[in-house]
Structures are given as structure tokens and as C-alpha cells.
């Protein structure tokens, strides 16, 4: 019996036939996929993600890594984690990162509109930019190489706003006026507290639109304005990542820039402690979306775009790479932390270099409490855990030294 079912050992000849067959199957599948893309777009969300798809794109279309990238760092969108990915990529590839002059702080003199004068001369000409700014396309184009790929990130508006509300409770006058620091009270009548002309008022309404350099108080009933906004963002940014699908976004980014899996590994940064977060009821969430309707238009539009890009790559391919990313992440965590992830509230992070900035006594931000004396082969663990302000200082120093050596 066993003899009958035993596999025949492949000779050279039928090995070749197998290869040909595989190639043929591949071609047929690709053309089917392309042909059915419009059909699939209706059904993708019930698509069987576990079906193994080959990422054709990576096999046939391997390009050198793209190294000129402008990441518009938006607020409350996991953009600190993304900035850390960009900073580490730049360091590993000896690239130059545009950083703010000291007088601008760790942001490009936000909320002023971006201007190349805000950029530290030792960090010019740059390959990468990834710090907070109020976007100004024309001015940024004057700074960046002309083959720069522009990307940004957006988050579902109700959770994004809830995050801003708790983070900026003391920083933003609008929120300070709200009785009992109550999000419910604010949303019952936002205009009672909101003054558009006050400093930092943008954090109280459509702050995504503000970060994109547009008017966050423009009436959302102006359909032409909304159309123009969407068109401009779409034309400028090759990829709008979505926080709610962060790993999927990273996989799309990796393909766009021809980066390796290693280039998109991360530890989450600038997270609030669980009890500093408020769970939103559906009613509250829809009030937030109504108050921030420009941001909501943006989010809904670009969330749909992301899923179209995922579809174009092959949902199975993306799902497979997301699994690989998470596995690689876990083994990185194990190698850096020996099993137990040392996440602590900022106040209890002993290593000053890893101390996350926290906005007020009301909100607790989590940091990684790694010892300061890690061995040199664990240097990368420190970098993965370094908060934005410290990493900015670190890079400003190292790039200044390099710039002086070169001149
Ligand atoms: C970066 O620069 C260092 C020192 O000059 C060099 O040893 C290394 O090979 C460079 N790495 C890359 C990826 O160019
Ligand atoms: C980009 O800049 C390079 C060098 O500065 C130039 O040679 C090239 O023509 C430019 N390309 C475009 C598309 O403007
Ligand atoms: C603020 O809290 C107090 C005590 O819990 C309550 O009596 C009052 O109604 C609250 N005010 C508002 C506007 O929610
Ligand atoms: C994002 O878009 C997908 C596809 O249209 C949809 O299924 C999902 O619910 C959207 N996510 C959010 C948070 O709106
Ligand atoms: C780091 O410091 C701690 C205590 O200060 C010490 O126990 C540990 O051996 C040191 N580790 C290394 C790699 O030097």
C-alpha cells in the first residue's frame, strides 16, 4: 500500500514542468486579479485573508530602497511611532534628517506654517523629514529633493479627538473652560467654549485639516472646498497611512518605498495609560464626527484609499506580511526585554533618555524603562524605545558632528 502512495522523486525533467506550470498559474492568477479588481472591491472585506497569495510585486519588481521621504507627522495618530521608524531608517542608511533649529523646539515652530528657515543648517540638504509641522507644500518642496515621496497618517476622528481632549486638557484654553473636564459637556455645546482665535485652538477642532495647512474652521457645507481639500491631499501624498490599520499601512508603505521588513519594525510610543482613555458611546462618537466634519471627510476618503491600495497589492499578500511583521516584532521584544515588556508610566521610567514627555497631571503616558547601560548589541533596543524629543536632540547632535567633519 505505502508504495502506491509514496511520492515519486522529481527528475530534472518534471521539475521543469512543475516550474512552467507554476509560472503559468501565476500569469493566469495575475490577469484574473487585474481583471476582477473592480468586482473584488465590492467583496474584499469578506475576502478570505488566510488564503496564501504570493506577493508578485516583490518578486518581479524589486527596486532599490527609496530614501527621500517626507512624512507629515500629524497629531494624535501614532505618528511618534512612525517618526521613530523614519529616524532609525535614516540612521541605519546614513541619511540626513531635516530637524528643527533649537529655537523651534522638537517641532518646526508649530503652529507656524512650515518654512525652510526653521530647519537646522547642519541637517540640510535632507533625505528625510518626519517632525511635526504645519504643512506647506511649496515651502517643503523647496527643501526636499525633487523625487521625494510624501506620506502622512490619519486616524478615525472620534478616537483622535478623544485623545486630543485628554492630552490637551490643560494646554488648550477651549478645553480648560469645560466644566468638570467633561467631554460630554463640551460636545453638548462646543461653540460655548471654542474661540478660533485663541492660541492652540486648533486642537479643539479639525486639527488634521490644520496640520495639512488648510483652514480648520471652514464650513463643511462648502462642497467645493471639501473637494479641493481631498484632491490636494490625494495629489500630494502617495500614501495616507491609517492609524486604525497601522500594520497594514506599514506593509503598503514598505512596498511603496521598496523597504525591507526590518525597516518597518517598531515599539509603540507615546501611548496613554489605559485609565487615561475614555470609552466613547456611539452618540458621543457621532457628535465628535459632526463637530470635526472636515477631518471626518478626510478620514473616510483616505481610509477607503488605503483599502484600495491593499486590494491592489493583494489582500492575502498584505495579511501575510502583517503576520510576518507581528512575528518579527514579538521576537524583537523578546530579544530586547527578556520576556517582560518594561512599560511604565512616565514618572516611573528611571532612564531619563527614555522618559516620555507628558502634558499634564491628568494624563499618564507610558514609556519603556530600559537600563541605561545596555550592551552595544542592544543599542537598537534603546533607539526603538526613545521618545520623539530625546531622539530629535540625539540626531541633531550626531548630524552636527558629521556636518562639521565634512566641512
Ligand atoms: C554608513 O557610514 C558608516 C561610517 O561612515 C559606514 O561604516 C557604513 O557602511 C555606512 N552604511 C551604509 C548603509 O552606507
Ligand atoms: C530633479 O533634480 C535633479 C538634480 O537637481 C535634476 O537633474 C532633475 O532633472 C530633476 N527632475 C525633475 C523631474 O525635476
Ligand atoms: C460637574 O460635577 C458636579 C459634581 O459631580 C455636578 O454636580 C455638576 O452637575 C457637573 N457639571 C456639569 C456641567 O456636568
Ligand atoms: C475603513 O474602510 C473599510 C473599507 O471601506 C471599512 O470596512 C472600515 O469600517 C473603515 N474603518 C473605519 C474605522 O471607518
Ligand atoms: C547595568 O547596571 C546594573 C546595575 O547598575 C548592573 O547590575 C548590570 O550588570 C549592568 N549591566 C551591564 C551590561 O553592564
Q: What is the pLDDT of residues 66-122, one digit of tens each?
A: 999 999 999 999 999 999 999 999 999 999 999 999 999 999 999 999 999 999 999
In a domain, 379, yes or no: no
Which is it for the CA torsion 371, 372, 373, 379, positive or negative?
Answer: positive
Give the strand pairing for 343-345 and 366-368: antiparallel
Ligand 5 mutation target, pool 336, 351, 369, 371, most atoms within 8 A of CB: 371
Task: Give 123's contacts (C-beta < 8 A, 6+ positions apart).
Answer: 96, 97, 98, 99, 395, 396, 399, 403
In a domain, 228, yes or no: yes
In a domain, 46, yes or no: no
Atom of ligand 1 at shortest distance to CA of 93? Answer: 13
Domain membership of residue 190 as a residue range: 66-343
Residue 218's domain is classified under what CATH number? Answer: 3.40.50
In a domain, 25, yes or no: no
In a domain, 280, yes or no: yes
Reported pTM: 0.84
In a domain, 31, yes or no: no
Domains: count for the chain = 1
Percentage of the chain modeled with pLDDT above 90: 66
* Alpha carbon nearest to ligand 4 atom 1, residue: 303
Question: Which of 50, 34, 73 lies closest to 319, judged by CA?
Answer: 50
In a domain, 322, yes or no: yes
Residue 132 sits at φ, ψ, to 5 deg, of -55, 140
Cis peptide before 125 (omega within 30 of 0): yes
Atom of ligand 1 at shortest distance to CA of 94? Answer: 1
Q: Which helix (H) or strand (E) holds 343?
A: strand 343-345
pLDDT (mean) for 284-297: 98
CB–CB of 74/101 below 8 Å? Answer: no
In a domain, 75, yes or no: yes
Q: Give the DSSP letter of residue 214.
A: S
User: Quick one: 90 exposed, middle or buried, by C-beta within 10 A (0-12, 13-18, 19+)?
Assistant: buried
* Alpha carbon nearest to ligand 4 atom 13, residue: 156
Cα-to-centroid distance, 191 and ligand 4 (Å): 29
Q: Is the CB of 181 under 6 A from ligand 3?
A: no
First to last CA, the chain: 78
Say if residue 7's pLDDT is above 50.
Answer: no
pLDDT of residue 350: 79
Ligand 4 mutation target, pool 280, 307, 310, most atoms within 8 A of CB: 307
Q: Give the DSSP letter of residue 315.
A: H
Q: What is the pLDDT of residues 303-335, one digit of tens each?
A: 999 999 999 999 999 999 999 999 999 999 888
Question: Which of 272, 355, 284, 215 lies closest to 78, judged by CA?
Answer: 272
Question: Which of 160, 155, 150, 112 lies closest to 130, judged by CA?
Answer: 150
Ligand 5 mutation target, pool 350, 351, 373, most atoms within 8 A of CB: 373
Measure the CA–CA gap between 9 and 1, rounded to whole angstroms: 17
Amino acid at each position: 500500500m505505502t508504495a502506491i502512495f509514496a511520492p515519486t522523486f522529481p527528475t530534472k525533467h518534471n521539475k521543469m514542468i512543475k516550474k512552467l506550470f507554476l509560472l503559468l498559474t501565476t500569469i493566469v492568477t495575475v490577469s484574473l486579479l487585474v481583471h476582477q479588481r473592480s468586482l473584488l472591491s465590492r467583496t474584499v472585506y469578506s475576502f478570505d485573508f488566510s488564503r496564501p497569495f504570493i506577493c508578485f510585486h516583490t518578486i518581479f519588481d524589486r527596486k532599490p530602497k527609496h530614501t527621500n521621504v517626507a512624512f507629515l507627522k500629524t497629531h494624535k495618530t501614532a505618528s511618534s511611532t512612525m517618526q521613530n521608524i523614519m529616524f532609525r531608517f535614516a540612521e541605519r542608511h546614513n541619511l540626513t534628517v531635516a530637524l528643527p533649529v533649537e529655537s523651534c523646539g522638537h517641532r518646526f515652530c508649530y503652529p507656524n506654517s512650515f518654512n525652510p528657515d526653521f530647519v537646522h543648517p547642519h541637517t540640510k540638504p535632507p533625505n528625510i523629514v518626519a517632525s511635526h509641522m504645519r504643512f506647506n507644500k511649496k515651502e517643503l518642496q523647496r527643501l526636499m529633493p525633487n523625487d521625494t515621496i510624501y506620506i502622512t497618517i490619519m486616524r478615525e476622528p472620534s478616537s483622535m479627538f478623544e485623545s486630543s481632549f485628554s492630552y490637551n486638557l490643560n494646554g488648550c484654553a477651549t478645553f480648560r473652560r469645560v466644566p468638570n473636564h467633561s467631554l460630554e459637556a463640551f460636545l453638548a455645546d462646543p461653540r460655548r467654549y471654542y474661540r478660533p482665535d485663541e492660541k492652540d485652538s486648533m486642537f479643539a477642532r479639525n486639527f488634521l485639516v490644520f496640520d495639512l495647512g488648510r483652514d480648520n474652521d471652514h464650513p463643511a457645507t462648502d462642497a467645493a472646498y471639501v473637494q479641493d481639500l481631498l484632491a490636494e491631499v490625494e495629489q500630494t501624498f502617495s500614501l495616507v497611512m491609517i492609524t486604525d490599520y497601522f500594520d497594514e499601512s506599514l506593509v503598503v508603505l514598505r512596498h511603496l518605498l521598496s523597504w525591507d521588513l526590518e525597516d518597518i519594525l517598531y515599539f509603540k510610543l507615546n501611548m496613554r495609560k489605559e485609565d487615561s482613555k475614555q470609552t466613547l458611546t456611539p452618540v458621543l462618537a457621532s457628535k465628535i464626527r459632526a463637530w470635526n466634519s472636515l477631518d471626518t471627510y478626510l478620514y473616510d476618503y483616505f481610509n477607503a484609499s488605503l483599502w484600495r491600495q491593499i486590494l491592489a497589492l493583494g489582500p492575502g499578500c498584505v495579511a501575510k506580511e502583517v503576520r510576518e511583521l507581528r512575528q518579527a516584532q514579538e521576537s524583537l521584544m523578546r530579544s530586547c526585554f527578556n520576556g517582560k515588556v518594561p512599560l511604565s508610566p512616565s514618572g516611573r521610567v528611571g532612564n531619563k533618555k527614555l522618559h516620555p514627555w507628558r502634558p499634564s497631571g491628568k494624563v499618564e503616558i507610558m514609556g519603556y524603562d530600559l537600563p541605561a547601560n545596555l550592551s552595544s548589541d542592544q543599542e537598537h533596543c534603546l533607539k526603538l524605545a526613545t521618545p520623539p524629543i530625546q531622539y530629535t536632540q540625539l540626531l541633531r547632535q550626531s548630524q552636527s558632528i558629521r556636518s562639521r567633519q565634512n566641512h
